[in-house]
Amino acid sequence: MLEFKEVYKRYPEFGEALHDVSFHIGRGERVFLTGHSGAGKSTLLKLVAVIERATRGQIVLDGRNITRASNREIPYIRRKLGLIFQDYKLLYDRSVFDNVALPLVIAGFNPGEVSRRVRAALGKVGLLSKEKRLPQTLSGGEQQRVGIARAIVHKPDFILADEPTGNLDPEAAREVMDIFRDFNDLGVTLLIASHDEQLISRCGGRVLRLQRGSLSEVGA
């Protein structure tokens, strides 16, 4: 599903954020990426979504080398992914429904199909009754569930989450993790960056640890 081969990332203003990172994630795996703040977790995820480019090395996603993907190809790479962010990145002038529908509208689904899939996704995160609400009227946990619904509505193979529980209280964090585990049980590949070791150990799964840009495998 995803392979990093000797990947380096250097920010001109900062220096080396990732140093000789290699790993492989198979289809259907559940992988946590951990490490202290500033270790390079977000940078690694950004390389997968081609938000940043690797300085050296190769990144292979679903059998294709995306390291040198052209700007025109980037949207189609991102459509294969489900991205989840610590700050949710919802559109606050649009309803929950419209937020979740966005990936489908972008991909050009017809309105009937859009409603059907949006309702299905909202059902999975338990927010079907709140589709008409604006995001501000929801709690943090609910907003993150909207973010998750948006990330899975187009049925991606691979979900990338960057500190998805970082802004949530423990209760909401556990709910969100349970939702992730359900998806993983259905065969979706997960890569979740988090510095919350406690949550990770309770959730269970393979753990990759970043330390000042270098990766080491901790084991399941």
Partner 1 sequence: MKRQRRRAQRWGGTSAARRHSGPSPVDRLQSYLVSHLHTAKEALRRMRRTPFAMALTLLVIAATLALPTSFHVLVKNLRMVGGDLEATNEISLYLKPDLSNDAGRRLAERLKNHAQIAETRLVTKEAGIEQLKTYSGFGEALSALNFNPLPVVIGIRPKDSLTQPEQVERLVAELKALPEVDLVQSDIQWMHRLHALLQVAERSFGVLGALLAAAVVFIIGNTIRLELYGRREEIVVQKLLGATDRFIRRPFLYTGFWYGFLGSLGAWIVVGVMLLIVRAPIRQLNVLYGSDFTLAFLGFQETMALVGIACFLGVAGAFAVLIQHLRDVRPE
Told to check if 42 binds ligand ADP by CB under 6 A, we report yes
- The nearest distance, CB 205 to Mg ion, in angstroms, is 19
Told to check if 126 binds ligand ADP by CB under 6 A, we report no
Tokens encoding 202: 């309770």
Told to check if 197 binds ligand ADP by CB under 6 A, we report no
Among 11, 185, 201, 218, the residue binding ligand ADP under the rule CB under 6 A is 11
Told to check if 171 binds ligand ADP by CB under 6 A, we report no
For residues 20 and 157, which CB has a smaller minimum distance to partner 1 in the complex?
157
Could you say which of Mg ion, partner 1, ligand ADP, none residue 43 binds, taking C-beta under 5 to 8 angstroms by partner kind? ligand ADP
Part in contact with ligand ADP (CB under 6 A); list of ranges 10-18, 22-30, 100-108, 171-179: 10-18
Among 17, 25, 39, 42, the residue binding Mg ion under the rule CB under 5 A is 42
Among 25, 35, 88, 172, the residue binding ligand ADP under the rule CB under 6 A is 35
Closest CA to 118 of 139, 137, 136, 94: 94
The answer to whether residues 197 and 184 touch, using CB atoms and an 8 Å cutoff, is no
Q: How far apart are CA 74 and CA 23, in angstroms?
A: 22
- The nearest distance, CB 103 to ligand ADP, in angstroms, is 24
| Residue 75 vs residues 133, 154, 169, 188: alpha-carbon distances, Å | 28, 14, 33, 20
Among 4, 32, 40, 47, the residue binding ligand ADP under the rule CB under 6 A is 40
- The nearest distance, CB 162 to Mg ion, in angstroms, is 6
Q: How far apart are CA 77 and CA 48, in angstroms?
A: 9
Told to check if 43 binds ligand ADP by CB under 6 A, we report yes
Helix/strand/coil (H/E/C) assignment for every residue in 132-196: CCCHHHCCHHHHHHHHHHHHHCCCCCEEEEECCCCCCCHHHHHHHHHHHHHHHHCCCEEEEECCC
Question: What residues line the site for Mg ion (CB under 5 A)?
Answer: 42
